[in-house]
Amino acid sequence: MAEWKEIRCKRSGECCYFLKHRSGLPIYVWPKRDYTTAYAVFATNYGAIDVACLKGGAGEPVLLPAGTAHYLEHKLFENEDCDAFERYAEIGANANAYTSFDQTAYLFTCTQNLTESLEILLDFVQKPYFTEKTVEKERGIIGQEIRMGEDSPFRRVFCNMLTGLYKEHPVHTDIAGTVESIAQITPELLYSCYDTFYNLHNMVLAVSGNVTCEQVEAVADRLLRPCEPKVPRRAPIDEPRESVTPRTEVAMPVAVPLFYLGYKVPLDTSQGLGSETPEAFAAAEVLEELLGGRSSALYASLMKQELINTSFDVEYFNGPGYGVWIVGGESRDPDAVASAFRDEVARLRREGVDPEEFAAARNAVYGQMIGDLDNPESCGDLLIAAHMDGFGVFDLLEAVASLTVEAVERRLATDFEERASSLSIVSPL
């Protein structure tokens, strides 16, 4: 058996293990004693934003149609013999997959037959099978999915916000692409993308719950095929600081207006991971609670004025070359909510963050993160996220625990520029 590296959290006592497998695949295992469920994720560092990449890390960018990563995810479940979902159903496992802006992941949960489930996962992800007939069939299915998304008020308000914020960065394009862009996808293109992005050195496997390192390693030794470490690099993007459209409003069949106020955060787009550090991301997590948490002053004020309901939320999400603050929910007057949020940011910049409110927000975030460690799925997702972000497994937890009010105030001072904001509204017909 290979030598696994132990990764222990000093604060919680939790322990997981890491192995750089001889095939080149990074593998994490997080055994959870006395748990009956196991959860596994096999992910690649390839998502919807990868419409231009540098093969081998240099040269002219290779341009890809929008939606290719999502299309490839759909098609990978089928091979010449059967559908992977059918194989999972036969042994009682629950499988799924997703494509995000910056990664594609294949996953399953099971209470038995872990070895068989893991064998299916590693098998079908490594066996692409595309033909003209199957690719054409999927085009109709995904095209229908795209059109349904266009009719969704919740999806429309989100996409319009990103389009209002970003001019060059492909994060403004829908993950599924467009009907026009997916028309360009061919079996040859899918095979090319698979060979480029589904290199084991560009992927990661995480298994948590009722599992041992020995179980995972045995399956990996049998099924993983070593490959040459050719990891693609994302092409740099020159994104202007200003937003594209300060305000967008469309009418759709909704009972109450939906809104998203977005702020584009400046990040270094020349590197794949951007410029976020664990401390900076921890500061964002706590700032979410201070600005939009149920105990925040802004939430109480807006609720008292009946400008929001419990759908109101403040969230930060980021990825390679992009970072976005989102303030959103339902409101009879979205412009008034946006104005109140801007006023609250200005007040906190002027007066500073109250130390007691900061401590309460930090404790709330820390408590939530500790609670998530009891969930195998949360643990598996944490392993994937930390690896993709270039963090240690417990770096973010440690950063939250040791966070200072000054770190939050630094983030508050730089992130919310009006010239880099966009308000998206979906109003009733």
Q: Which residues are catalytic?
A: 73
By residue count, the chain amounts to 429
Residue with token string 């500073």: 352
Structure-token pair, residue 5 = 């590296």
User: How many CB atoms sit inside 10 A of residue 73's CB?
Assistant: 19
Structure-token pair, residue 364 = 């709330």
Integer Cα distance of 27 and 112 in angstroms: 21
Q: CA 220, 224, 226 angle in degrees (round to 5)?
A: 130
Do residues 124 and 410 touch, judged by C-beta distance below 8 A? no
Integer Cα distance of 72 and 408 in angstroms: 40
Structure-token pair, residue 379 = 């643990």
Integer Cα distance of 413 and 4 in angstroms: 43
Integer Cα distance of 393 and 350 in angstroms: 36
What is the H or E stretch that residue 42 is in?
Answer: strand 38-44
Rg of the chain taking only CA atoms, in angstroms: 22
Do residues 75 and 130 touch, judged by C-beta distance below 8 A? yes
Integer Cα distance of 349 and 352 in angstroms: 5
Determine the distance from the C-alpha atom of residue 86 to the mean position of all C-alpha atoms in its chain, rounded to a whole number: 27
Query: DSSP secondary structure string, 6-17?
Result: EEE-TTT--EEE
Integer Cα distance of 249 and 259 in angstroms: 9
Query: DSSP secondary structure string, 204-249?
Result: EEEEEES--HHHHHHHHHHHPPP------EEPP----SS-S-SEEE
SS3 label, residue 97: strand
Integer Cα distance of 40 and 200 in angstroms: 16
Do residues 377 and 261 touch, judged by C-beta distance below 8 A? no
Closest CA to 197 of 379, 49, 382: 49
